[in-house]
Amino acid sequence: MSAWKLCSTLATSMQRFIDLRRLSGADYHAQALLLGHFDRFLVESNHIVLRLTREITDQYECSLERLASRSRGNRLCVVRQFGKYLARTDALSYVPDSPRCISSHDAHTPYIYSLIQIRSLLSAASNLPPGSLRPETCRTLLGLLYSTGIRIGEACALTLKDFHRDDQRLYIAAGKFRKSRWVVLSESACAALQRYVDQRVRKQPRALDSPFFINARGRSLPHVTVYTTFRHLLEQCGIPYHKAGGPRIHDLRHTFAVHRLLEWYRDGTDIHSRLPWLATYMGHVNIKSTHIYLHATPELIECVDHRFHEHYLQHVQPIKGTES
């Protein structure tokens, strides 16, 4: 998405606010794009203002009613941050209230892919029209997203030097909020990436800082191309797609977390001791962020029920028998 050129009567203040955020070490690219929507609203609504007012922010909120709750909340949150910045030097500047928390009813319900669907998607990717690196790129990208749970933006930002074959790990340098981390790879995932690299280096560019995943022109994969191809694969695999609710490519990250939790339950692993591991692996600051990705699928509920039943038979029932 190209950035909107700030041109409202508050554009100068907005740019100063964005520059200040970036000086503090924040990337603030996505937030700047969101603030650009507010600037465009001011321009298209012919608002000539020198400070933020409640009337303007209320009108802006009404104009966002067509958006999903989370998208609407993100845009309003940035305007609130901007309002707090203005209020530091202008006591009459209005600071909007915090957007209401998104209820589970309003939030998008992630789609958890089955193993059969994952295999089907990978097979469909392999069968994309040959003649270029596209089938290998698509299959490897989807396999990486599912097997590691990294974000699509992180995958598209990878360079050749970020793949460390000998150590079986990836270096995520452009994570969310510009936080870097190491991602350990399984042997099969590492082998799949190496097979892709062997074909990838036959194409230009080959420099270590060049994109890991490339399109036909040797450039980084545009997000719109990835999303369009993924929707095509969903249709091929008979996975119903709805424009408003997905399934989305980001749901592969949710699927990774659920399947990882499911395997721990089946292995008898202490879940509570492993959740911090999962949070760190997924690039989260704390477990609260990871909980968003843990969904109660039928298979997971069955494993939880089985573990509780075993715990009852081993620890609770003997105690009750002693009391009687």
pLDDT at 321 over 60: no
- Of 22, 40, 47, 176, which one is the catalytic site residue? 176
pLDDT value for 97: 87
Task: Answer with the residue of higher pLDDT: 30 or 40.
Answer: 40
pLDDT value for 303: 64
pLDDT at 60 over 90: yes
pLDDT at 141 over 80: yes
User: Active site includes 284?
Assistant: yes
pLDDT value for 320: 54
296 and 233 together in one domain: no
User: Active site includes 253?
Assistant: yes
Which residues, 6+ apart, have CB-to-CB distance to 133 below 8 Å? 199, 200, 203, 214, 216
Counting Cα atoms < 13 Å in the Cβ hemisphere of 304 gives 11
121 and 224 together in one domain: yes
For the range 101-104, what are the long-range contacts, defined as Cβ-Cβ under 8 Å and sequence gap of 24 or more? 102/69, 102/70, 102/73, 103/69
Render pLDDT for 108-127 as a digit per residue (tens, 0 to 9).
789 999 999 999 999 999 99
- Of 72, 151, 200, 248, which one is the catalytic site residue? 151
Q: Does a structural domain hold residue 228?
A: yes
Cβ pair 94, 86 in contact under 8 A: no
309 and 248 together in one domain: no
pLDDT at 7 over 80: yes
- Of 72, 248, 259, 284, which one is the catalytic site residue? 284
User: Active site includes 5?
Assistant: no
155 and 67 together in one domain: no
182 and 248 together in one domain: yes
- Of 47, 84, 134, 250, which one is the catalytic site residue? 250
- Of 21, 72, 139, 253, which one is the catalytic site residue? 253
pLDDT value for 285: 79
Compute the distance between CA of residue 63 and CA of residue 298 in angstroms, rounded to an integer: 39
pLDDT at 323 over 80: no
Compute the distance between CA of residue 29 and CA of residue 18 in angstroms, rounded to an integer: 9
Which residues, 6+ apart, have CB-to-CB distance to 172 below 8 Å? 150, 154, 158, 162, 180, 181, 182, 183, 283
pLDDT value for 258: 93
pLDDT value for 3: 63
pLDDT value for 1: 47
pLDDT value for 57: 94
- Quick one: three-class SS letters along the chain? CCCCCCCCCCHHHHHHHHHHHHHCCCCCHHHHHHHHHHHHHHHHCCCCCCCCCHHHHHHHHHHCCCCCHHHHHHHHHHHHHHHHHHHCCCCCCCCCCCCCCCCCCCCCCCCCCCHHHHHHHHHHHHCCCCCCCHHHHHHHHHHHHHHHCCCHHHHHCCEHHHEECCCCEEEECCCHHHCCEEEECCHHHHHHHHHHHHHHCCCCCCCCCCECCECCCCCECCHHHHHHHHHHHHHHCCCCCECCCECCCCHHHHHHHHHHHHHHHHHCCCHHHHHHHHHHHCCCCCHHHHHCCCCCCHHHHHHHHHHHHHHHHHHHHHHHHHHC
Which residues, 6+ apart, have CB-to-CB distance to 7 below 8 Å? 39, 43
302 and 213 together in one domain: no
211 and 289 together in one domain: no
Render pLDDT for 45-55 as a digit per residue (tens, 0 to 9).
998 888 999 99
Render pLDDT for 198-228 as a digit per residue (tens, 0 to 9).
999 998 899 999 999 999 889 999 888 999 9
Which residues, 6+ apart, have CB-to-CB distance to 258 below 8 Å? 112, 293, 294, 295, 297, 300
Q: Does a structural domain hold residue 204?
A: yes
pLDDT at 18 over 90: yes
264 and 248 together in one domain: no
**Last-in-domain residue among 87, 106, 124:** 87
Q: What is the mean pLDDT of the chain?
A: 87
CATH number reported for the structural domain that contains residue 152 in this entry: 1.10.443.10
User: Active site includes 248?
Assistant: no
Compute the distance between CA of residue 247 and CA of residue 121 in angstroms, rounded to an integer: 13
270 and 198 together in one domain: no
pLDDT at 104 over 50: no
Domain range enclosing 312: 254-323
pLDDT value for 236: 94
pLDDT value for 245: 66
Total structural domains within the chain: 3
The closest alpha carbon to 107, from 144, 143, 73, belongs to 73
68 and 192 together in one domain: no
pLDDT value for 296: 79
pLDDT (average), residues 135-154 = 96
User: Active site includes 176?
Assistant: yes
Query: Using 50, 70 and 90 to split pLDDT, how confident is the model at 105?
Result: very low
* Cis bond before residue 247 (omega within 30° of 0): yes
Task: Answer with the residue of higher pLDDT: 262 or 142.
Answer: 142
**Last-in-domain residue among 220, 237, 252:** 252
Q: Does a structural domain hold residue 100?
A: no
User: Active site includes 311?
Assistant: no
Render pLDDT for 238-293 as a digit per residue (tens, 0 to 9).
998 776 667 999 999 999 999 999 998 888 888 888 899 999 999 987 888 888 88
Counting Cα atoms < 13 Å in the Cβ hemisphere of 186 gives 11
Over pLDDT 70: what percentage of the chain? 88
pLDDT value for 210: 95
Q: In what order do the strands lie in the sheet with 181-184?
A: 163-164, 169-172, 181-184
